[in-house]
Amino acid sequence: MAKRGVVVLLVMAFLLIGVCWGRVAYIALIKGDEYKTKAETQQLSVTTVNATRGTIYDRNMNVLAQSAAVWLVHVNPSKVDNENREVICNGLAEILGLDAAVLREKLIANAAYGYLEVKDEIEYEQKTKIQEFINNEDLYGIVNIDPDTIRYYPNGNLCSTIIGFTGKDDDGLAGIEYYYDDELTGTDGRIVTAKDGSQQPMPDQFMTTYDAQQGASPVLTIDSEIQTILESALQTALIENDAQNVYGVVMDIKTGAILGMANLPNYDPNDPYTLTAEMIAEIEAKPEEEQNEAFVEKQNELWRNKLITDFYEPGSVAKVFLVASALEEGVISADETYECEGRITVNDRNVKDYNPVGHGLETLEDLLVNSCNTFSVHIATEHLKKDLFNKYFQAFGFTERTGIDLPGEGDPIEGVMYHAPETFTTSNLVSCSFGQSFTITPLQMITAISCVANDGKLMTPYIVDRFVDEQGNTVVQNEPVVRRQVISPSTSEKMLTYMEQVILRGTGTNAYVPGYRIAGKTGTSEKLGKKEKVYIASFAGVAPADDPSVAVLILIDEPGGVNYSGGVIASPVGGQVFEKILPYLGIEPVYTEEELNNMSSPTPEVVGLQTAEAEQQLQNKGYEVRVIGDGEKVLSQSPEAGRSIMDEGIIILYTQEGVTSAKATVPDFSGMTVGEANYYASQNGLNIKITGSTLMTNAVKAYRQSEAAGTQVEPGTIVTVYFRSDEANDDVVAQGQ
């Protein structure tokens, strides 16, 4: 029996040993990685180091968006006891500007948890004070500071609808920030620290750091200077015309690069959730139950880049594509003429021109110069016809997205934005011939206008030139993309000749800039589906006309003033933009003799000369001179030397210390001709600088001035006066019957 018992015990022992070895093998071979991970988790503390988001630059490497270092303070409530709670609450409240009582309640309510965020986005000074507080009070592991970043937009509203903004977790939510979120987002780093048996961090020699990698930085095609010029001009147009919205784009014709793009009103990406006062008033006017939904709608409206998302009827600017298509197909010749009688009837539909008596005998150039509807209808219905119209409508890109690298580009839907070819009627063709009954985005428009000016090549617009790393090395380079050849270079050349005449003697005269050859077209389209008649006024132009390099598009949406024609209110804005960006781009003016005769000239330097000598020199040059004081020498002059003023302008000479002249009062120049404004300026001891159209001398009137009427200024001050012709109307009654 004893032997049997021993055998049984040995068998049981071997079985037990086998089970143990099997368990060991199972744990080591099958579950080894899992238990290893669990052990490491218990032994290691891993802190994530957030990667810095890439910086967004303009084309000249000016910062448009960047991430700044900040810190986040959090507490482990499970380690807070009655002894240190008051110290923590009072200390953090004092440093961070918090309510100690509120913090105390949160710590007690979350006592079972290991994490409570106290405050984020604290800057270096507060971070340093918190660290000293932790050290002094021995709160390591209880009060903690983690590195973080905040997205900062140094230029405020500038470029906001292009750049977009980021959310709380640093994810892109709009614009470039959203579209290129993956590229901008870097790779997070880690700090791995060993923990002892009580789960406390061990000394630094047990720490391993894996550095975070910054995201790639896009260099935009946007030029901050051009963007500033564009937004400034649009802001003035928004206010002057009491408009709902204003849009503008500046494009490099030869590449498709966007140099400037803006729609106003816009927002500050540093504070994107704040609405304008007008928007808030609209929301508050609604029933309370509708206000939350209205708030979200207004936010989306403010953030939306309407130049690529919204569609509009282009009006008479579309006549450029009609004429270009007919010329390219050879269905009309360059010497085509038409007798405009003010109306045309097609299949019992009577279409009127804005000129009720008609333009008489017109050439193709005259069609665009006069923005003639009846000639456009004649070409569309008698020469181009439906199939060819649709062929070029598609070729110019109006049935497809442009492909720009920005989010939310509108998708042209057949049967909604434009007519389906199989249901396209002659009546549709009539309306389309002068830019009504179909809709396109502003970006589609400037891309197509640039195509006409770019030897017929349709480019893909783009907003990011390249990506660079932390050292500024290019890691990705974008190149211009030609989508297709739409018209021939010879047709392009003819169209530029016609469009230049629109500026010199047609509806676009208000876009004229002395010294520069500008080609363009104006448009005024009625917005359908509205209770009251409202319009979109537009201007599309390119320059220089003999070798175009830059295109400008201006749209004024629902102007509320008396004037709503593109030729009257949109083309002056285009002219102002051209006047500033062309010299900035290094395009030198070439003046005609007539322009030179009408130009202002820099004032000479006479400070330091004998008073009599200075007075004689200036009078010999045609200036009116006023001397203030009894001194023998000129101590100062107004305007100072080098400032340009009109011929026969006035110069004030100060010859005695402490002696000044009485202030001059700025007249109200509105409605005056150039001659009248110059006369009244002189009578008030002032000079004027003329800006805007001066081609149609008798029709041109002042409509804006740099100094408000009644302002008291120093004698000799130069007041900029803006002129335009209110007779530069286009087809504001284009719809007909």
* Phi, psi dihedrals of residue 131, rounded to the nearest 5°: -65, -40
Tokens found for residue 321:
């594509």
Dihedral sign for Cα 241, 246, 250, 256, please: negative
For the chain, report the end-to-end CA distance as a whole number of angstroms: 122
Instruction: Tell me the C-alpha distance between 323 and 177, whole Å.
Output: 40
Q: What is the pLDDT of residues 520-530, one digit of tens each?
A: 999 999 887 77
Residue 421 has pLDDT above 70, yes or no: yes
Mean predicted lDDT score pLDDT of the chain:
89
pLDDT at residue 252 in the model? 98
Instruction: Tell me the C-alpha distance between 587 and 383, whole Å.
Output: 39
Q: What is the pLDDT of residues 223-243, one digit of tens each?
A: 999 999 999 999 999 999 999
Q: Where are the alpha helices (DSSP H) in 331-372?
A: 364-370
- CA separation, residue 32 to residues 18, 21, 22, 264, 517 (Å): 19, 14, 13, 62, 79
- DSSP label at residue 544: S
pLDDT at residue 33 in the model? 64
Average of per-residue pLDDT across 278-296:
89
Contacts with 506 (C-beta within 8 Å, 6 or more apart), sequence order: 368, 369, 370, 371, 728
Instruction: Tell me the C-alpha distance between 165 and 173, whole Å.
Output: 6
Q: Check: CB of residue 330 under 8 Å from CB of residue 385.
A: no
Q: Which CATH number fits domain 46-219: 3.40.50.980, 3.90.76.10, 3.90.1310.10, 2.40.50.100?
A: 3.90.1310.10
Instruction: Tell me the C-alpha distance between 287 and 177, whole Å.
Output: 35
Token match 């001194």: residue? 631
Residue 437 has pLDDT above 70, yes or no: yes
- 3-state SS of 16-81 is HHHHHHHHHHHHHHHCHHHHHHHHHHHHEEEEEECCCCCCEECCCCCEEEEEEEEEEEEECHHHCC
Contacts with 12 (C-beta within 8 Å, 6 or more apart), sequence order: none
* Biggest distance spanned by C-alpha atoms of the chain: 146
- 3-state SS of 163-211 is HCCECCCCCECCHHHHHCHHHHCCECEEEEEEECCCCCECCHHHEEEEC
Question: Between 475 and 170, whose confidence is greater?
Answer: 475
Residue 150 has pLDDT above 50, yes or no: yes
Instruction: Tell me the C-alpha distance between 465 and 479, whole Å.
Output: 8
pLDDT at residue 734 in the model? 45
Q: What is the pLDDT of residues 459-471, one digit of tens each?
A: 999 999 999 998 8
DSSP secondary structure string, 396-431? TTTTS----SSTT-----BTTTB--GGG--HHHHHH
Average of per-residue pLDDT across 625-653:
90
pTM of the predicted protein model: 0.84
pLDDT at residue 568 in the model? 93
Question: Between 325 and 647, whose confidence is greater?
Answer: 325
pLDDT at residue 44 in the model? 58
Q: What is the pLDDT of residues 541-590, one digit of tens each?
A: 999 999 999 999 999 999 998 899 999 999 999 999 999 999 999 999 99
Q: Check: CB of residue 189 under 8 Å from CB of residue 209.
A: yes
Given this chain, do its domains 46-219 and 600-725 carry the same CATH topology? no
pLDDT at residue 658 in the model? 84
Dihedral sign for Cα 282, 285, 287, 289, please: positive
Q: Is residue 366 very low, low, confident or very high in pLDDT (cuts 50, 70, 90)?
A: very high
Q: What is the pLDDT of residues 677-724, one digit of tens each?
A: 988 998 899 999 888 877 666 678 999 999 999 999 999 999 999 999
Q: Where are the domains of the chain?
A: 46-219, 600-725
CATH number, span 600-725: 3.30.10.20
Residue 106 has pLDDT above 70, yes or no: yes
Q: Is residue 737 very low, low, confident or very high in pLDDT (cuts 50, 70, 90)?
A: very low
pLDDT at residue 696 in the model? 60
DSSP secondary structure string, 431-442? HHHTT-S--B-H
Instruction: Tell me the C-alpha distance between 190 and 208, whole Å.
Output: 8
Q: Is residue 64 very low, low, confident or very high in pLDDT (cuts 50, 70, 90)?
A: very high
Q: What is the pLDDT of residues 384-405, one digit of tens each?
A: 999 999 999 999 999 999 999 9
pLDDT at residue 348 in the model? 83
pLDDT at residue 736 in the model? 37
H helix or E strand, kind and range, residue 338: strand 337-340
Q: 383: buried, middle or exposed (CB in 10 Å: 19+, 13-18, 0-12)?
A: middle
